[in-house]
Amino acid sequence: MVILSNVVDDFINKLKQDAHFENIKIIKAYPYVAKPTRLSKIVLCLSLAEISADNCSVGDNCIYGDYKIDIDIFVPYKIGADVISDVFSNIVNACNDNLPIGISTNNIKNDRDTLCYTAKCSLVFNDALNIGGVNDECRNKWGVNTDC
Protein backbone atom coordinates (compact mmCIF):
# COMPACT_ATOMS: atom_id res chain seq x y z
CA MET A 1 0.00 0.00 0.00
CA VAL A 2 1.17 3.48 -0.83
CA ILE A 3 0.55 6.52 1.35
CA LEU A 4 0.10 9.23 -1.25
CA SER A 5 1.30 12.04 0.99
CA ASN A 6 4.66 10.24 1.31
CA VAL A 7 5.09 8.78 -2.18
CA VAL A 8 7.54 11.40 -3.49
CA ASP A 9 9.63 11.45 -0.30
CA ASP A 10 9.73 7.64 -0.26
CA PHE A 11 10.90 7.52 -3.89
CA ILE A 12 13.55 10.18 -3.23
CA ASN A 13 14.86 8.12 -0.30
CA LYS A 14 14.94 5.00 -2.47
CA LEU A 15 17.02 6.77 -5.12
CA LYS A 16 19.37 8.29 -2.53
CA GLN A 17 20.15 4.81 -1.20
CA ASP A 18 21.26 3.65 -4.66
CA ALA A 19 24.99 4.09 -5.37
CA HIS A 20 24.24 5.30 -8.92
CA PHE A 21 22.81 8.51 -7.47
CA GLU A 22 25.49 9.43 -4.94
CA ASN A 23 26.76 12.38 -7.05
CA ILE A 24 23.29 13.52 -8.13
CA LYS A 25 21.16 16.04 -6.24
CA ILE A 26 17.62 14.69 -5.76
CA ILE A 27 14.86 17.05 -4.60
CA LYS A 28 11.11 17.56 -4.61
CA ALA A 29 9.99 19.79 -7.44
CA TYR A 30 9.45 23.39 -6.40
CA PRO A 31 8.18 26.46 -8.21
CA TYR A 32 10.49 27.35 -11.06
CA VAL A 33 12.49 30.36 -9.86
CA ALA A 34 15.79 31.85 -10.92
CA LYS A 35 18.76 30.63 -8.88
CA PRO A 36 21.71 32.92 -8.13
CA THR A 37 24.13 30.25 -9.39
CA ARG A 38 24.17 27.72 -12.21
CA LEU A 39 23.81 24.02 -11.62
CA SER A 40 27.16 22.28 -11.30
CA LYS A 41 25.91 18.69 -11.14
CA ILE A 42 22.97 16.58 -12.25
CA VAL A 43 19.70 17.38 -10.50
CA LEU A 44 16.52 15.29 -10.37
CA CYS A 45 13.28 17.07 -9.40
CA LEU A 46 10.43 14.73 -8.44
CA SER A 47 6.71 15.42 -8.17
CA LEU A 48 3.45 13.52 -7.90
CA ALA A 49 1.85 14.19 -11.26
CA GLU A 50 -1.41 12.24 -11.55
CA ILE A 51 -3.67 9.96 -9.55
CA SER A 52 -6.44 7.72 -10.86
CA ALA A 53 -8.25 5.63 -8.26
CA ASP A 54 -11.41 3.58 -7.70
CA ASN A 55 -12.92 1.53 -4.90
CA CYS A 56 -11.59 -2.01 -5.17
CA SER A 57 -14.51 -3.65 -3.33
CA VAL A 58 -18.15 -2.94 -2.64
CA GLY A 59 -18.85 -1.56 0.83
CA ASP A 60 -15.22 -1.17 1.95
CA ASN A 61 -12.99 1.88 2.10
CA CYS A 62 -10.45 0.25 -0.19
CA ILE A 63 -9.01 2.47 -2.88
CA TYR A 64 -6.87 1.02 -5.65
CA GLY A 65 -5.38 2.77 -8.63
CA ASP A 66 -2.54 4.35 -10.51
CA TYR A 67 -0.24 7.20 -9.57
CA LYS A 68 2.41 8.88 -11.68
CA ILE A 69 5.72 10.32 -10.53
CA ASP A 70 7.33 12.88 -12.85
CA ILE A 71 11.09 13.29 -12.70
CA ASP A 72 12.67 16.31 -14.37
CA ILE A 73 16.32 15.60 -15.18
CA PHE A 74 18.74 18.55 -15.41
CA VAL A 75 22.25 17.87 -16.74
CA PRO A 76 24.67 20.83 -17.01
CA TYR A 77 26.05 21.42 -20.49
CA LYS A 78 29.60 20.68 -19.30
CA ILE A 79 28.59 17.11 -18.31
CA GLY A 80 26.86 16.33 -21.63
CA ALA A 81 23.46 15.14 -22.81
CA ASP A 82 24.51 11.50 -23.25
CA VAL A 83 24.36 11.03 -19.46
CA ILE A 84 20.56 11.46 -19.46
CA SER A 85 19.95 7.97 -20.87
CA ASP A 86 22.14 6.46 -18.13
CA VAL A 87 20.29 8.41 -15.43
CA PHE A 88 16.95 7.32 -16.89
CA SER A 89 18.04 3.66 -16.93
CA ASN A 90 19.26 3.89 -13.33
CA ILE A 91 15.93 5.38 -12.23
CA VAL A 92 14.02 2.49 -13.79
CA ASN A 93 16.46 -0.07 -12.34
CA ALA A 94 15.94 1.43 -8.85
CA CYS A 95 12.29 0.35 -9.08
CA ASN A 96 13.20 -3.34 -8.76
CA ASP A 97 10.88 -3.97 -5.76
CA ASN A 98 7.88 -2.09 -7.23
CA LEU A 99 7.97 -2.21 -11.00
CA PRO A 100 6.15 0.57 -12.81
CA ILE A 101 3.28 -0.33 -15.15
CA GLY A 102 4.19 2.58 -17.40
CA ILE A 103 7.44 4.33 -18.30
CA SER A 104 7.90 7.33 -20.56
CA THR A 105 10.39 10.04 -21.35
CA ASN A 106 10.48 12.99 -23.70
CA ASN A 107 13.15 14.31 -26.03
CA ILE A 108 16.21 15.97 -24.59
CA LYS A 109 15.93 19.76 -24.73
CA ASN A 110 18.29 22.69 -24.23
CA ASP A 111 17.32 24.99 -21.38
CA ARG A 112 19.17 28.28 -21.75
CA ASP A 113 17.87 29.56 -18.40
CA THR A 114 19.56 26.76 -16.43
CA LEU A 115 22.35 26.06 -18.96
CA CYS A 116 21.33 22.41 -18.84
CA TYR A 117 20.07 19.63 -21.01
CA THR A 118 16.67 18.58 -19.70
CA ALA A 119 14.30 15.65 -20.03
CA LYS A 120 11.20 14.48 -18.23
CA CYS A 121 10.84 10.89 -17.10
CA SER A 122 7.43 9.61 -15.93
CA LEU A 123 6.78 6.40 -14.03
CA VAL A 124 3.27 5.03 -13.47
CA PHE A 125 2.65 2.63 -10.57
CA ASN A 126 -0.43 0.64 -9.56
CA ASP A 127 -1.17 -0.16 -5.92
CA ALA A 128 -3.61 0.15 -3.05
CA LEU A 129 -3.69 3.82 -2.14
CA ASN A 130 -3.95 5.39 1.30
CA ILE A 131 -5.48 8.80 0.78
CA GLY A 132 -5.60 10.56 4.13
CA GLY A 133 -6.12 7.42 6.23
CA VAL A 134 -9.23 6.24 4.33
CA ASN A 135 -7.56 3.05 3.20
CA ASP A 136 -5.69 1.73 6.26
CA GLU A 137 -7.42 -1.65 6.24
CA CYS A 138 -6.55 -2.36 2.60
CA ARG A 139 -2.91 -3.37 2.18
CA ASN A 140 -2.49 -4.59 -1.41
CA LYS A 141 -4.15 -6.45 -4.24
CA TRP A 142 -2.57 -9.78 -3.27
CA GLY A 143 -4.51 -9.94 -0.03
CA VAL A 144 -2.15 -9.06 2.81
CA ASN A 145 -5.43 -7.90 4.31
CA THR A 146 -8.30 -9.75 2.68
CA ASP A 147 -10.72 -6.84 3.18
CA CYS A 148 -9.54 -5.60 -0.20
Give the start-to-end residue ranges of the domains of the chain. Answer: 2-130
Q: Which tens digits make up the pLDDT trace of 57-90?
A: 666 667 888 999 999 999 999 999 999 999 999 9
Predicted pLDDT at 98: 87
105: Cβ contacts below 8 Å, ≥ 6 apart: 88, 119, 120, 121, 122
In the CATH scheme, what is the code of domain 2-130? 3.30.2000.30
Give the end-to-end CA distance of the chain in Å, rounded to a whole number. 11
Yes or no: say if 62 and 135 are a contact pair by the CB < 8 Å rule.
yes
Predicted pLDDT at 136: 45
* Residues in the chain, pLDDT under 70: 31-36, 57-61, 132-148
The pTM score is 0.82
